[in-house]
Amino acid sequence: MCSLKRTPLYSLHAEYGAKFVPFAGYEMPVQYALGVKREHEHTRAACGLFDVSHMGQVLLRGRDVARALEALAPGDFIDLEQGAQRYSFFTNPEGGLYDDFMTVNAGDHLYLVVNAACKDQDIALLRIGLDPSIDIVALDDRALLALQGPQAQAVMARICPEANRLLFMQHARFEVEGETLWISRSGYTGEDGFEISLPAAYAEAFARRLLGEPEVELIGLGARDSLRLEAGLCLYGHDIDEHTDPVSASLVWALAKCRRQGGEREGGFPGANVILPRLAERDELERRVGLLGEGRAPIREGTTLFDGEGREVGRVTSGTFGPTVGQPVAMGYVRAQATSLGTKLYAEVRGKRLPMEVVKLPFVPARYHRG
Amino acid sequence: MSEIPQQLRYAESHEWVLDNGDGTVTIGITDHAQEALGDVVFVELPEIGRSLAAGDEFGVIESVKAASDLYAPVAGEVIEVNAELEDAPESVNEHPYTDAWLLKLRLTDADALEQLLDAEGYARLLDAQ
């Protein structure tokens, strides 16, 4: 058995009553003393602090690095302004996704945040796919915290007021107590908030300072999952993976216009010959939709979905009881004819067919700070 | 430490049994079980009139984390289920030994209660885990 890694905040988690679970090779807090439901509600009402130091942070530096990254992902990195962050994914030759990630143009380098479970593979992919002159640095000496919720800005006003000038998906660097914080206004909850990269050695002191603010509670992976699901955000390995293409995954918005057919830098990424033709066929494809349950029973990952005539039309890829919605929420892939909003579907749970409705995502309105 | 009332009997599958003294029993899940499950969001209970053998699966309890099966600690016929739990499943976390009882059975065999653990036995089981 291989041993699990720990983040720099492990002992802080234990002190706050964390229950740990293995996740992507790390021993991670799934919940604290408050419990998943209250942690979820606290994040929507006030402010939650998440340790996401297990995620991969990667720095890319070199000539034409943005152009080079476009050979691996269908984003527009060349036109990404300094201080801007964008969501994209590494595609495979079959049109599937190796991973999804965030990229920041930090001036003399690109800063990427990738999924924990994929980080070694992503770095290998970058080493193979980018010109050898480009430096690829795994930032293993940095921790990553997320401060999320409607009161995150009030907390930031006391800790690092300049960061409140950032708008959603902007990034900048700030000095706090002599340490440099890399702060993005983004997150994985649908709420306003910040993702803060900082030196691992400073992470615990900084987290304790945040926890000293009255609005802040530590939030575990359990609530992180229900929060992101209510926000309609995909979880890699569940809602998207190497077999799902971005069009079927309803992630067309993340395919840069300039990389589509007729765009100035059309194609040029792995699987473009599969993905781009699908854009024209999207209405005929099985694709990812939001599903709202009518009863109270959670409809979980792997559940089969049927239409009103009893025909199998799809399956659930993520599902739980949404604490804010107050109903079961799920996402899944369904056949084209079942994707219209308002379509009634039936989830088979323990031999019963439970009614669900195809609904618009997100389940809870996003409250990003767009200025 | 979780609460283990003296007057109850316990199954190794973490249900408690209260002897109502009239050939019927009331069944629920223990404080330890609700704590391990986490926030309960849904409880599925059997139809009234169903006959259960000891060890039969009689329902499901779902928390934010996962679904867990419920097992009959003793044999009997279902005579009542707690309908309040449909709208207030969180009561299982708050009052596992009182408001959040799950169902009542008419015992097939009154001696079956002797097979179950007493409070000390259940405490030892938890210590051993």
Kindly report the three-state secondary structure assignment for every residue of chain B. CCCCCCCCEECCCCEEEEECCCCEEEEEECHHHHHHHCCEEEEECCCCCCEECCCCEEEEEEECCCEEEEECCCCEEEEEECCHHHHCCCHHHHCCCCCCCCEEEEECCHHHHHHCECHHHHHHHHHHC
- Whether residue B42 and residue A297 make contact (CB cut-off 8 A), yes or no, is yes
Q: What are phi and psi of B103, to 5 degrees?
A: -155, 165
pLDDT of residue A2: 65
pLDDT over 90 at A158, yes or no: yes
pLDDT over 90 at B65, yes or no: no
Q: Which of residues 82-101 of B touch A (CB under 8 A)?
A: 86, 89-90
pLDDT of residue B2: 87
- Whether residue A298 and residue B38 make contact (CB cut-off 8 A), yes or no, is no
Q: Which of residues 3-32 of B touch A (CB under 8 A)?
A: none
pLDDT over 60 at A1, yes or no: no
- Whether residue B67 and residue A300 make contact (CB cut-off 8 A), yes or no, is yes
Picking from A35, A297, A321, the nearest residue to B44 by CB comes out as: A297
A352: nearest CA in chain B?
A: B44
Which of A23, A228, A294, A321 is the best substitution to test chain B (most B C-beta atoms within 10 A)? Answer: A321
Which of A299, A329, A350, A352 is the best substitution to test chain B (most B C-beta atoms within 10 A)? Answer: A350
B48–A contact, CB cutoff 8 A:
no
| Residues A100, A77, A85: CA angle, nearest 5 degrees | 65
Find chain B residues with C-beta within 8 A of A297's C-beta. Answer: 42, 44, 62
A127–B contact, CB cutoff 8 A:
no
A302–B contact, CB cutoff 8 A:
no
Give B97-107 pLDDT, tens digit per residue. 999 999 999 99
pLDDT of residue B87: 87
pLDDT over 90 at A62, yes or no: yes
- Whether residue B38 and residue A297 make contact (CB cut-off 8 A), yes or no, is no
Give A173-231 pLDDT, tens digit per residue. 999 999 999 999 999 999 999 999 999 999 999 999 999 999 999 999 999 999 999 99
Distance CA A112, CA A101 (A): 7
Render A42-64 in DSSP notation, one character per residue. Answer: HHHHSEEEEE-TTSEEEEEESTT
Give A67-115 pLDDT, tens digit per residue. 999 999 999 999 999 999 999 999 999 999 999 999 999 999 999 999 9
